[in-house]
A and B are shown apart, each in its own frame.
Chain A
């Protein structure tokens, strides 16, 4: 026999003719034939296999060696979101995020519940031992022990060296000034998502990676002055609520916006709903006579009253069987200036009726009083306007009844009248040089000048004398409205307001104060009207903020210092 190597195929010997008849050998030859054929095919299979494996290995090389991962889609881990600070116009911190640590435990890793509890209590004495013990002996894998530890507390717990304790980084939103500007700032939920105020309005920007601080138009000093005066006024006048706004007339920047009662945003959960309400931009009031400067602007725009013309306000005025009365009744006919200075409802109504409903509505619309104030804050209420505008509506709206707007809406409308007639959208963001101020002309500059003069006259000779501040040429207008309770106006439940602006020579700032249901107090002679509360608060605010805002005080020169060069003006 031939010596066959294991792989070599057995060769078929040519069959000699004499062996053809031997069946056993034939069977053997058949089997050999078959096995040989199968071997060829198995080798073919192996070749195909090898080719496929080569393909797979080269493909593997292509993916694992040549395709460097651009981004690794890894295991999602807990992400600590960074939230930018909120600062006032001068950079003073109003809201920030602190990196705190929250303590949790895995009870399955506890060796000795009693010993662990004792150790934890020694580090955090204010925890309840019974609660800690019950949590540590639960059969869960995760229990909270305490949220938001201070660094000192964390170090104390860390030093215990207990393996079951774990820390999670949890940022906490902190408002270092407490109640200051609480309604503007708003607050965030536990995940730092803004849910009210600036925190909500600028939520996306605050979360932007590497985002800069949000710089508000707010001036902390002005805000404090307004809040302080409102708080004092609320106490002195026994008001239910109050709100105050200080606005830059030229840029629309809100320097202060306060609402009383207020709350502490660090503990917003403890605040009551009526404390969280931002009355300055969310409460709708019939604000009364503070609307009259608008009617005066209407008069000038439409030219329905002559320069020297006097209206017969002493006579009864009945519209649609409703009689219109004055708080300070005049016995003689009054000109336009005195109608405003004496706050005559009849005079305002007559002017409005002469101008017509259409012109009046058009003006109100241009002053933004028919829509919500387009401020960045979500807390901005749309006004309540009569659906059927009758003659009586025209008459009452002229002195601020039959239309409910927010203090912010009226403040921006009045600022328009003092800003050369240009409506500026109020903003809570600090104005940046080069950024366009969103503005629109509402009335002519002549009308603006006319109303400005009239409002100065109200403070020098009219109902707003209590608001005068020496040296700052304050303009103003009072407003006292009876509240509508269940469809009827109630005599002793008032909403008083005062709009104040200064200086007359170049109106820059507007102060708007509103009190909800102030009462008469000792020394007010039984009055609870705007001149006895809102006007006084407005004066106090102007006195405090005018020097801070750099408005030059005009000191009347005495005869002695007259003509001295460089003397104080």
Chain B
């Protein structure tokens, strides 16, 4: 019986046996949660964004439909990626980085300008945001570089890594997209930290980032305006964060009930950046904490897998990807709760958005692929 299950004839069975089913289950649960919340957010988003009231009346679930399509596409891509052997998954991650950089490089020429930034490129019917795919790519690349460096100390992995990072930051600031730049920096910093670089070097990198931040504050006026208006709000109730706070405050312990939310209609981007506020208004504090716990559980489960992995590369990559998802969650929640200035960060798996959904599903696929059970993968020296 054991012998039969170990054969590779049944690829799906083998996949099912080796995959971390808890991570997959949490991922699917989050996708369902996001779809349900999209039912609440879609009419409000259609109402806010459509030019005519009649469009809102005719197609209140315009965004829900698209969200559903993205969720299914995301789940499928995560499963496909998770089936790859670890080396191929790593190569795919690095490929995503290279492709992402290439697309970022041509964005100033071919990109679509939305709200003053060129962040999107139109591929067929899809609007893709390459910066979303660059993040998991860079993390995988970083983990790879560190693991190669360990095997071959003479290999200049760190220098290559920081050169690639420098190019990326240049391209992102050029868009401009300060929020993604900060997230990317934090992701790389976490991988560097996990990789066990000496604290001295990490402090030096921190100093460089701080200088970069100060320079950005000096030279990027819209970022300066955002931070100043966050620190010294003139009329909080009129800002999007103020409206999000009103929406959240309207929820209370149990929420006003599904579909009963009213403040959400007053909220900009209720389906993307501020979907969490919509969730609190309609489902209340308790269920929203449930959502946070679910997201935290996903991140914690990946960290647990990273802890147990014996392979240096997989450990770094899984921990780095989990950190990315966790950071994005935290930043989004912090913006919703007016702890951080508005950044345009989505809530992973919950917010509407094709690029974000596909990139995060891709990351989940990579996490699943790296954390698959295989001989010698878990418990150092046990197998």
Contact = CB atoms under 8 A, between A and B. Distances in A.
A64 B380 contact: no
A281 to B, nearest CB: 44
Nearest to B304: A7
Nearest to A46: B303
A41 B245 CA distance: 35
Given A10-B381, A41-B193, A141-B54, A53 B303 contact: no
A38 B248 contact: no
Contacts of A190: none
Interface stretch (B78-86, B134-142, B156-164, B332-340): B332-340
Contacts of B190: 45
Given A41-B196, A60-B285, A64-B284, A53 B308 contact: no
B378 interface: yes
A65 to B, nearest CB: 6
A142 B248 contact: no
A31 B312 contact: yes
B250 interface: yes
Contacts of B292: 53, 56-57, 60
A523 interface: no
Interface in A37-72: 37-39, 41-43, 45-46, 49-50, 52-53, 55-57, 59-61, 63-65, 67-69, 72
B289 A57 contact: yes
Contacts of A56: 292, 330, 333-334, 337, 339
Contacts of A73: 237, 243, 246, 263, 266
B265 interface: yes
A4 B285 contact: no
Interface centre among A31, A34, A49 (most CB of B within 10 A): A49
Contacts of A140: 54
Interface stretch (B66-74, B103-111, B315-323): B315-323
B352 interface: no
A45 B280 contact: no
A49 B237 contact: no
A141 B296 contact: no
B57 to A, nearest CB: 6
A42 B303 contact: yes
B34 interface: no
Given A31-B312, A42-B307, A65 B339 contact: no
- Interface of chain A, main secondary structure: helix
A37 B307 CA distance: 11
Interface in B185-240: 190, 193-196, 237
B17 interface: no
A201 to B, nearest CB: 34
Contacts of B288: 60, 64
A142 B285 contact: no
A32 interface: yes
A15 B280 CA distance: 57
A43 B194 CA distance: 10
B21 interface: no
A297 to B, nearest CB: 60
Given A6-B378, A69-B250, A74 B196 contact: no
A38 B195 contact: yes
B130 to A, nearest CB: 27
Contacts of A10: 380-381
Interface string B122-150: 00000000000000000000000000001
A72 B262 contact: yes
A38 B312 contact: yes
A285 B172 CA distance: 77
B299 interface: yes
Contacts of B284: 64
B381 A75 contact: no
For chain A, the bracket of interface size reads 35 or more
Given A53-B296, A74-B263, A63 B248 contact: yes
A237 B151 CA distance: 119
Nearest to A108: B58
A71 B250 CA distance: 10
A272 interface: no
Given A56-B339, A73-B263, A73-B266, A67 B249 contact: yes
Interface string B286-303: 001100100010011001
Contact of B194 (A1, A42, A59, A67): A42
Contacts of A52: 330
B285 A61 contact: yes
A115 interface: no
Contact of B265 (A7, A50, A68, A74): A74
Contacts of B308: 6-7
Interface centre among A30, A50, A63, A67 (most CB of B within 10 A): A63
B60 interface: no
A214 to B, nearest CB: 35
Contacts of B380: 4, 10, 32, 35
Contact of B280 (A35, A37, A60, A69): A60
A141 B196 contact: no
A140 B306 CA distance: 58
Contacts of A57: 289, 292
A57 B292 CA distance: 8
A133 B303 CA distance: 66
A324 B193 CA distance: 110
A519 to B, nearest CB: 60
B61 to A, nearest CB: 16
A425 to B, nearest CB: 43
Contacts of B248: 60, 63-64
Contacts of B326: 49
B58 A141 contact: yes
B47 interface: yes
Contacts of A28: 381
Contacts of B262: 72, 74-75
B179 interface: no
Contact of B285 (A32, A39, A49, A65): A65
B175 interface: no
Contacts of B379: 4, 6
A60 B380 CA distance: 40
A472 to B, nearest CB: 65
A37 B196 CA distance: 7
A31 B381 CA distance: 11
Contacts of B315: 35, 38-39, 42
B243 A64 contact: no
B51 interface: no
Given A4-B379, A52-B330, A73-B263, A39 B312 contact: no
Nearest to B193: A41
Interface of B: 47, 52-54, 57-58, 150, 190, 193-196, 237, 243, 245-246, 248-253, 262-263, 265-266, 280, 284-285, 288-289, 292, 296, 299-300, 303-304, 306-308, 310, 312, 315-316, 319, 323, 326, 330, 333-334, 337, 339, 378-382
9 contacts: A30-B150, A32-B381, A35-B380, A43-B307, A49-B303, A53-B292, A53-B296, A63-B337, A141-B53
Interface of A: 1, 4, 6-7, 10, 28, 30-32, 34-35, 37-39, 41-43, 45-46, 49-50, 52-53, 55-57, 59-61, 63-65, 67-69, 72-75, 106, 108, 140-142
Given A7-B307, A60-B285, 4 more contacts: A10-B380, A38-B316, A63-B248, A68-B252
Per CB-CB distance, the 7 closest pairs between chain A and chain B, nearest first, are A141-B54, A75-B265, A74-B262, A67-B249, A37-B196, A64-B285, A10-B380
